[in-house]
Amino acid sequence: MDDTNAAIRSVLIVGGGTAGWMTAAALSHALGERCQITLVESDEIGTVGVGEATIPPIRLFNDTLGIAEADFLRETKGSFKLGIEFVDWAKLGHRYFHPFGTFGKPFDLVAVHQHWLAARAAGSTIPLDDLSMAWAAASRGRFAAPMTDPRSVASTFDYAYHFDAGLYAAFLRRYAEARGVSRVEGRVGDVALHGETGHVAHVGLRDGRRIDADFFVDCSGFRGLLIEGALATGYEDWAHWLPCDRAVAVPCATGGDGMTPYTRSTARAAGWQWRIPLQHRTGNGYVYCSRHISDDEATATLMANLDGEALSEPRLLRFTTGRRRTFWNRNVIAIGLASGFMEPLESTSIHLIQTGIAKLLAYFPTRDFSPLLIDEYNRVAITEYERIRDFLILHYKLTSRDDAPLWRDCAAMTIPDTLALKIAHFRQGGRLIARDMDLFGPASWLAVHIGQLNHPLGSDPLLDSSKAAAASTTFIGRLSEAMATMARSMPTHESYLQRLTRSM
Ligand code: FAD
């Protein structure tokens, strides 16, 4: 075999945040002894320290690694998440839920929401949320794993977790080190490139040590030490669509509504505030646009809107929404915040780490670093980013708030054509058109369209309007009642969690 086609012998992961340790765990699981995996991280620099809400595919990541749910939740002090409640986003005093799962189950050729719209036009006041099993459980503080019997309404929802990302990284560190990953503590000072190829040859630590590798994974966070610092890959700035550029975060004692099995996002004058309940505390943060509010004002707003006593000093984070121009450049692949950041509104960052790792394994290179693999990785990753970007912009664009400059700017902004087309289809006839590689499916788009008050002007012509209203009203009434009854039979979130985490 030609030497240039030889297998990768060593991988260096730069950075030990959630991205670094998820990558180390997955690579050690997949590659075993075949390749020397090293991770370098700096205790002095630390990690971003936030990132607590996820979406359902995280369960696949843990399952693939053989991590039991009970162990995971115990070690990360995690809780269950059935979706996100959006408060004051469409207009002040209004709320809606983006559930994991679907809205009911289709009972004929016509989508459930078309029946809901017909019933609504005929005077029904049942909110769309009430056709979601996830909300039926979440709003009552209940949780149980979904049923597999497709005839049951309890098979129509899905779930993810809230967890302490620092504890998750520590848990995965133990997992990876037990499978042969070497950890080096130290601060990367310089990065040396091969003269001929421009590939990264080694990184130098400030104390003089040097680490060579065939392949480098840049998990160094916003800094992008290799992908940007050494290779100057470039960054596509999306601040004109996703204007928030700072966050202030603080944990507090759990009070208020308690350990809700859902995240809450409350729109504020210059951004929005998250509330994420864990077993031992509640995570909070105000994500805001620095053009519209000062750091001090944002901090004061956050501190005035906590459920319980703050457990530490508030922490300020700065970011620019967007993505690297390419995610894989020469022998460096960027995963995590080093690859870009689209703000935490729909909890997609840890998911993008997961899909980055999945693609890395699917296109794992040899030492010739075939451009075919690199181009495909970048094509898929860029599409994934753009699909998520459009879904996030939807929340801002569809606001009816006019009480603050941020919201007026968002309602008036020009949006990507891909998103404009989706909005136009929904507005015209309630149609949810899909794009390849959409992460969020029709139910998610429906929740946000309706939640943000983008009601369709027309209905599906397949719906027989002469019979529809009465049949639809009966149908959705029964559906919401069946879901409420099912939810009442579920254990409380706390008791389900306690039973599970004490079970082993
Ligand atoms: P970091 O955590 O920044 O880790 C970088 C690592 O690189 C650290 O170990 C650091 O020590 C190391 N490093 C850097 N420079 C050097 C150097 N010179 N030498 C050696 N080591 C170095 N995601 C979600 O999925 N859900 C959420 O709810 C969510 N909320 C968020 C809220 C906010 C405000 C922000 C900013 C992000 C949020 N995220 C969320 C994103 C999430 O926090 C990150 O995706 C995740 O933590 C991964 O970060 P990371 O590992 O890429 O970077």
DSSP-assigned states of every residue in 321-373: -EEES-SEETTEEE-GGGGEE--STT--HHHHHHHHHHHHHHT--BTT--HHH
Amino acid 470: pLDDT = 80
Identified catalytic residue from 81, 359, 397, 422: 81
Residues comprising the chain, all counted: 504
- Tell me: the pLDDT tens digits for 285-312? 999 999 999 999 999 999 999 999 999 9
Q: Quick check: helix, strand or coil at residue 256?
A: coil
Residue 107 has pLDDT above 70, yes or no: no
Amino acid 473: pLDDT = 86
Q: Quick one: residue 308, left, alpha or beta (phi over 0 = left, psi -120 to 50 = alpha)? A: beta
Q: List the chain domain ranges.
A: 3-52+164-237+324-369, 99-158+388-488, 246-318
Q: Is residue 50 lining ligand 1, measured as CB closer than 6 Å?
A: yes
Contact present, 204 and 191 (Cβ < 8 Å):
yes
Q: Which atom of ligand 1 is nearest to the CA of 15?
A: 7
Q: Is residue 42 lining ligand 1, measured as CB closer than 6 Å?
A: yes
Token digits of residue 409? 């700017």
Residue 484 has pLDDT above 60, yes or no: yes
Amino acid 317: pLDDT = 97
Residue 5 has pLDDT above 60, yes or no: no
Share of the chain above pLDDT 70, in %: 97
Please, what is the average pLDDT of the chain?
A: 95
Average pLDDT score over residue span 258-262: 96
Residue 440 has pLDDT above 80, yes or no: yes
Amino acid 460: pLDDT = 84
- Tell me: the pLDDT tens digits for 180-227? 999 999 999 999 999 999 999 999 999 999 999 999 999 999 999 999
Amino acid 500: pLDDT = 96
Q: Is 397 annotated in the active site?
A: no
Q: How far, in Å, is the centroid of ligand 1 from the Cα of 37?
A: 20
Q: Is residue 350 lining ligand 1, measured as CB closer than 6 Å?
A: yes
Share of the chain above pLDDT 90, in %: 88
Amino acid 465: pLDDT = 67
Q: What are φ and ψ of residue 61, in 5° steps?
A: -60, -50
Q: Which atom of ligand 1 is nearest to the CA of 205?
A: 19
Q: Is residue 54 lining ligand 1, measured as CB closer than 6 Å?
A: yes
Q: Is residue 458 lining ligand 1, measured as CB closer than 6 Å?
A: no
- Tell me: the pLDDT tens digits for 327-354? 999 999 999 999 999 999 999 999 999 9
The contacts found for 30-33 with CB under 8 angstroms, 24 or more apart, are 30/361, 32/179, 32/180, 33/180
- Write b or e for each residue in 278-287: b if 16 or more Cβ atoms lie within 10 A of its Cβ, otherwise e: bbebbbbbbb
Residue 109 has pLDDT above 80, yes or no: no
Q: Is the dihedral of CA 61, 337, 272, 295 positive or negative?
A: positive
CATH architecture of 3-52+164-237+324-369: 3-Layer(bba) Sandwich (3.50)
Residue 10 has pLDDT above 50, yes or no: yes
Average pLDDT score over residue span 420-430: 96
CA–CA separation, 490 and 69 (whole Å): 19
Amino acid 27: pLDDT = 98
Nearest CA to ligand 1 atom 9: 16
> Which residue ranges make up the annotated binding site for 7-chloro-L-tryptophan?
81
Q: Is residue 191 lining ligand 1, measured as CB closer than 6 Å?
A: no
Average pLDDT score over residue span 322-328: 98
Average pLDDT score over residue span 393-420: 98
Strands 36-41 and 10-14, by their bridges, are parallel
Q: How far, in Å, is the centroid of ligand 1 from the Cα of 484?
A: 39
CA–CA separation, 69 and 58 (whole Å): 11
Residue 96 has pLDDT above 80, yes or no: yes
Question: What confidence category does residue 504 fall into, taking pLDDT thresholds of 50, 70 and 90?
Answer: very low
Please, which residues have CB within 8 angstroms of residue 279's CB and are 6 or more apart in sequence? 73, 77, 78, 79, 259, 497
Question: What confidence category does residue 1 fall into, taking pLDDT thresholds of 50, 70 and 90?
Answer: very low
- Write b or e for each residue in 5-36: b if 16 or more Cβ atoms lie within 10 A of its Cβ, otherwise e: eeebeebbbbbbbbbbbbbbbbbbeebeeebb
CA–CA separation, 90 and 129 (whole Å): 15
ipTM strictly over 0.85?
A: yes
Strands 263-268 and 83-87, by their bridges, are parallel
Question: What confidence category does residue 148 fall into, taking pLDDT thresholds of 50, 70 and 90?
Answer: very high
Question: What confidence category does residue 503 fall into, taking pLDDT thresholds of 50, 70 and 90?
Answer: low
- Tell me: the pLDDT tens digits for 28-73? 999 988 899 999 999 999 999 887 999 999 999 999 999 999 999 9
Of 151 and 25, the one with more pLDDT: 25
Amino acid 392: pLDDT = 98
Q: Which atom of ligand 1 is nearest to the CA of 350?
A: 25
Residue 275 has pLDDT above 80, yes or no: yes
Q: Quick check: helix, strand or coil at residue 375?
A: helix
CA–CA separation, 25 and 437 (whole Å): 26
Residue 494 has pLDDT above 50, yes or no: yes
CA–CA separation, 186 and 150 (whole Å): 52
